[in-house]
Each structure stands twice: as C-alpha cells, then as structure tokens.
Amino acid sequence: MAERKPIESWLTDMDGVLIHEGIPIPGADEFLKRLKQSGKPFLVLTNNSIYTPRDLHARLTRMGLDVPVENIWTSALATAQFLDDQRPGGTAYVIGESGLTTALHDIGYVLTDTEPDFVILGETRTYSFEAMTKAVRLINNGARFIATNPDETGPSAEGALPATGAVAALITAATGKKPYFVGKPNPLMMRAGLNAIGAHSETSAMIGDRMDTDVLAGLEAGMRTFLVMTGVTRPDEVDRYPYRPSEAVDSIADLIDLV
C-alpha cells in the first residue's frame, strides 16, 4: 500500500471528542491551541443543527475552548449549501431551530408552508405534532424531503433524546418517502467542509467518537480516521463494524503530538 501523506488539515467532531455534557474533555484545549499555532486548516463539525456557528463559538468559549466562528461547520450549513447548489432561491417548510433557519435565510431561501419546494427537518427540542402533520401533508403534495442528519438520538443530562433521524422515520412511515440526509455519515458534509477550508482528503484527518457516523463519513470521503473512546462507540464495539478507523486512541489528548 502507498504510504499515507502527512496530515495537513484536520476535521474533528465536537460532542464526545472535544466536550462531553458541557465539559471539555482533557486535552481538547491543548489540541485546539496546537492547531492554531500550526496554521493548519481545521474545522470543528457537528451534526446538531440547532445552533449557529456564532452560538457554538460562544458556548465553547464559556467552556474555555476557543474555536473561531469560521472554523465551525454544522449540518445546517452543509444542508443550506447543498440546497443552494441544487435549487438556488428556493422555498422550504422548516422544522428546526435558528441554526437551520439562519443558514437558509443566508442563502436567500424563503421559509413558507405554502407549496414549498422542500420540507427540511432539523434538530429541535420542541418537535410538535402539528408541525409533523404539516410536513407529512406537504410531502404528500409533492415537496421534497430533506433532513439535516440521521442521528436517531441525542445526549442530555437525563439520558437519550429522540433526534432528527427518529422523527424522520415517523414522517417516512406516514408518507412512504425517505429523506435525503445531508449530515454525517454522508461524505457530502465532509467534502463540503474540506472545500470550505481549501483542504484535500488525501492530506486530511477526521477525528470522531462514533463508528457509524464520524469514522464512516471520513472513510468514504477518503480521509485518515481517528476514533476516540470518550464518546458513543465503546472499545468492544469497534470490531462489530465491517470497516475500521485508521487508528483508535483513548482520547483527543493522544493526538496532540500529531498536529
């Protein structure tokens, strides 16, 4: 096999890699400092579409982690870019929060419940039966179904919460229409992120805590992949998958010297 090229740019997941339940994971601050000192392009990614990059920057800052707004890439931004490429200036009925609606407004989309081009499902803590019913009827009437990410559950201090993938399954059951998921593990999100920082997959690495999203997306985008054990996937689960990360490590602290 050809030897891997040196890593010149980094993509890293946020939850489970840099933070866990609102607390920085040991080594995250030093890893981010090393990235900024190196001058290498990098992005912090999240499948969560609730927050804008500005919101996430503020939240991370309060936790003691300095990530510039321009280095944050969300499934909401990737969804907006996808729609801007596919159907510029379109219309959409949106179930989601400001992270998604702001991204769509920024590309000139009109948000409406009257004959929209798309129904777009994102993350929210207030999924309503009324909104889901409206989405079902609009899809049945011809609107195309897009979802920001396929995650079926999300974390909280009290335990798992139903997330975008679970609600998408409900809408699919009611309409017979499956959504196009833009976020991880779709490599589209990774490639769009790489393009945003002018990086190439052959010299880029992806760090994640989930085999089924982070590692799979990085693998399919052609990147080197690192799995950390501070999030969702446990060490005994790695061998259950038909693919492997390039390397599995205990935490982000083990990768500082690679930057």
C-alpha–C-alpha distance, residues 129 and 148, integer Å: 19
Query: Binding site annotation covers 184?
Result: yes
Instruction: For 33-55, write each residue's pLDDT tens digit.
Output: 999 999 999 999 999 999 999 99
Q: Which pLDDT band holds residue 154 (cuts at 50, 70, 90)?
A: confident
Active-site residue flag, 13 = yes
Q: How many residues does the chain have?
A: 259
Q: Name the one residue in this structure whose structure tokens are 């207030």.
A: 126
Is 15 annotated as contributing to ligand binding? yes
| 222 conformational bin, left if phi > 0, alpha if psi -120 to 50, beta if neither | left
Mean pLDDT of the chain: 95
Beta-carbon contacts of 3 under 8 Å, excluding residues fewer than 6 positions away, are none
15 in active site: yes
DSSP 166: H
Is there a binding annotation on residue 29? no
Residue-wise pLDDT for 193-230, tens only, equals 999 999 999 999 999 999 999 999 999 999 999 999 99
Can you read off the two tokens belonging to residue 41?
């392009």
Q: Which domains does the chain have, with CATH numbers?
A: 9-47+184-258 (3.40.50.1000), 87-181 (3.40.50.1000)
Point out the catalytic residue in the list 13, 117, 151, 214: 13
